[in-house]
């Protein structure tokens, strides 16, 4: 079973904007709304950090420890929100008729879509926008139970299908779960659910993921999707929500990267997670010895904050950092090191080598002089990849997830992309419900539709959107240690 992991550091939550980007290529008749944000200074006690770190490791462990899973062409972009200083990255989808926008974690490490439902009474569901099946004329209940178990809890409910839109694309009968039980730590306001962006082979629901339906039906100009993720980790002025970068479906955006995209194939026949084989890691200029075969497999995972790997290799990375030491208690599996040390770790997956910035390696400051490193040790199940390469790495590259040939590509970020890092003046993306560029049936082929939605749809979208915004705006601050 697949579980998903977001690893948000959880402190105070504030309200945010939904984000649904304008469809491409034609400008949308979209509606948008600005929501104010509250920001809180980034102050975490050592205990908070330790507790979060322990939860992060155990949750990644749980996510990857069990993998007995059976569990007209265009492109468009969705603007991302960076939540809690790079802890998680969310975008938005619109669901139903009329469409209502929801914030969802964008997770290349799992393959199911789920939303908290209207009837969810769990604390985790209070104050967030929840899905109300009876408000959508196109919703169909499949009456099949759904459950995902996470390291820190579970989400369960029923499978249904409805029109789901993202980045200007629509899938008319996307299967997703409407969850009525959600464990305390699974959702971090204003996020209502999770969008899995890995392959159908590991979907707990068994359903084709939104992205895979679009890619396999040739709806995209190119059969790939791409991320540019921002960094606010090393910025003490960062608010709980900041501009998070760009998610593009069906194309790469050449203004966000420079040079070639270095693609490396997913091992043949292993389309499940977005797997890559690690060919080299260096730490402070020295190569680390990497086990071969399945021990070198890594899942490239936007839904994981840090980087987990085998104990021996992770120890070797820190062995090159003077005065680093293994953590104990809740920090077991993590390492501490002097904050004054500038750390240079690089990773390669068969081709070019990519550097992780010192700002990303330095995951947390534990005390005046002591910092927590972003690599932690992890032992995954025998069917799961040994390494989980999360946002610590992905913030340093433009990343491309290609359906065919199945591969992952990385490129250097452009100056325009880099300029978004730490830029607290950038607007947090606001909610828009764009119109569809093309409608695809999850079970059939692609059909073409006009680019703009009918005015009547737009009008009803407004009231739905206003409603979900109100729900978000009335949310009280929630203090919780979150991890999925
Ligand atoms: C993982 O598998 C073990 C044993 O097979 C089980 O006890 C545990 O509950 C599973 N964890 C998850 C998250 O499914
Ligand atoms: C779907 O139908 C089942 C009964 O078959 C019901 O328990 C469930 O609440 C329904 N789900 C939704 C989202 O309407
Ligand atoms: C954060 O790190 C980046 C990259 O290393 C650096 O350019 C920037 O100045 C740092 N920002 C702060 C506020 O320290
Ligand atoms: C490419 O990204 C830039 C910067 O985020 C954005 O302004 C532009 O609209 C994007 N282009 C396309 C075609 O999506
Ligand atoms: C980081 O290490 C790599 C590999 O040794 C080296 O090529 C690169 O120049 C180093 N970068 C910095 C900023 O020191």
CB 360 within 8 A of CB 233: yes
32-37+68-221+428-473 to CATH, choices 2.40.70.10, 3.40.50.300, 3.40.228.10, 2.40.50.140? 2.40.70.10
Using alpha carbons, list the distances in angstroms from residue 481 to 50, 152, 478: 11, 10, 10
Q: Which entry of 86, 103, 301, 391 is annotated as an active-site residue?
A: 301
The pLDDT value recorded for residue 51 is: 84
- Ligand 2 mean position to 147 CA, how many Å? 14
Q: Whose CA is nearest to atom 2 of ligand 5?
A: 285
Spacing, Cα 346 to ligand 5 middle (Å): 8
pLDDT at 187: 87
What does the pLDDT read at residue 459? 23
Q: Which two tokens stand for residue 141?
A: 């209940």
Chunked in runs of 10, what are the mean pLDDT values of the chain (484 residues)? 30 21 24 29 72 83 56 83 95 95 94 96 93 97 88 82 95 97 87 96 95 96 98 95 97 98 96 97 98 93 94 98 97 97 98 97 96 94 87 98 98 98 91 50 37 23 23 19 24
Which of 107, 112, 162, 180 does the annotation list as catalytic? 107
pLDDT score, position 63: 73
Domain positions in the chain are 32-37+68-221+428-473, 252-418
* Overall pTM surpassing 0.85 (yes/no): no
Pocket test for ligand 5, best of 347, 355, 360 (most atoms within 8 A of CB): 355
**Beta-carbon contacts of residue 180 (< 8 Å; ≥ 6 apart):** 117, 119, 120, 121, 122, 156, 157, 158
Structure token digits, residue 454: 């009918």
**Both tokens assigned to 150:** 């996470």
**32-37+68-221+428-473 matches 252-418 in fold:** yes
In the chain, % helix, strand, coil (3-state, to 5) comes to 15, 35, 50
**Does 2.40.110.10 match the CATH number of domain 252-418?**
no
Is 107 part of the annotated catalytic residue set?
yes
* pLDDT value of position 46: 84
Q: Which of 2, 3, 65, 204 to mutate to test the pocket of ligand 1 (most atoms within 8 A of CB)?
A: 65
Residues, the chain: 484
Atom 11, ligand 4: residue with shortest CA distance: 253
Cis before 405 (ω within 30): yes
């Amino acid at each position: 079973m697949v579980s998903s992991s977001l690893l948000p550091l959880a402190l105070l939550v504030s309200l945010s904007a939904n984000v649904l980007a304008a469809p491409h290529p034609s400008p949308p008749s979209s509606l948008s709304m600005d929501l104010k944000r509250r920001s809180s200074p980034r102050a975490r006690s050592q205990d908070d950090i330790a507790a979060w770190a322990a939860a992060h490791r155990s949750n990644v462990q749980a996510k990857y420890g069990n993998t007995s899973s059976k569990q007209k062409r265009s492109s468009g972009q969705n603007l991302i929100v960076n939540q809690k200083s790079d802890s998680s990255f969310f975008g938005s989808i619109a669901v139903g008729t009329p469409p209502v926008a929801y914030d969802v974690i964008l997770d290349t490490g799992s393959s199911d879509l789920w939303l908290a439902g209207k009837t969810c009474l769990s604390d985790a569901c209070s104050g967030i926008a929840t899905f109300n099946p009876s408000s959508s004329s196109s919703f169909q209940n499949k009456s099949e139970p759904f459950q995902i178990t996470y390291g820190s809890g579970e989400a369960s409910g029923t499978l249904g299908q409805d029109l789901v839109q993202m980045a200007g694309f629509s899938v008319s009968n996307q299967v997703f779960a409407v969850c009525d039980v959600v464990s305390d730590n699974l959702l971090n306001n204003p996020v209502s659910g999770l969008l899995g962006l890995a392959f159908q082979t590991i979907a707990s629901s068994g359903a084709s993921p939104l992205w895979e339906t679009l890619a396999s039906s040739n709806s995209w100009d190119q059969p790939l999707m791409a991320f540019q993720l921002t960094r606010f980790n090393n910025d003490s002025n960062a608010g709980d929500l900041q501009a998070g970068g760009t998610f593009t479906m069906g194309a790469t955006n050449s203004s966000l990267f420079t040079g070639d995209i270095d693609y490396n194939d997913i091992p043949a026949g292993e389309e499940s997670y977005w797997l890559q084989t690690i060919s080299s890691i260096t730490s402070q200029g020295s190569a680390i010895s990497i086990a071969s075969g399945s021990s070198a497999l890594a899942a490239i995972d936007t839904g994981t904050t840090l980087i987990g790997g085998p104990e021996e290799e992770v120890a070797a990375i820190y062995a090159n950092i003077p005065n680093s030491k293994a953590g104990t208690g809740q920090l077991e599996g993590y390492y501490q090191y002097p904050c004054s040390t500038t750390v240079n770790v690089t990773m390669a997956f068969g081709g070019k080598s990519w550097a992780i910035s010192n700002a990303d390696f330095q995951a947390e400051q534990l005390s005046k002089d002591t910092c927590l490193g972003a690599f932690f040790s992890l032992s995954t199940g025998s069917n799961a990849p040994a390494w989980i390469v999360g946002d610590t790495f992905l913030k340093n590259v433009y990343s491309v997830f290609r359906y065919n040939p199945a591969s992952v590509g990385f490129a250097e970020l452009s100056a325009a992309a880099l300029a978004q890092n730490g830029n607290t003046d950038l607007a947090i993306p606001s909610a828009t419900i764009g119109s569809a560029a093309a409608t695809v049936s999850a079970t059939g082929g692609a059909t073409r539709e006009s680019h703009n939605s009918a005015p009547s749809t737009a009008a009803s979208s407004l009231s739905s959107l206003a409603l979900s915004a109100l729900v978000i705006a009335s949310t009280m601050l929630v203090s919780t240690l979150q991890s999925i």
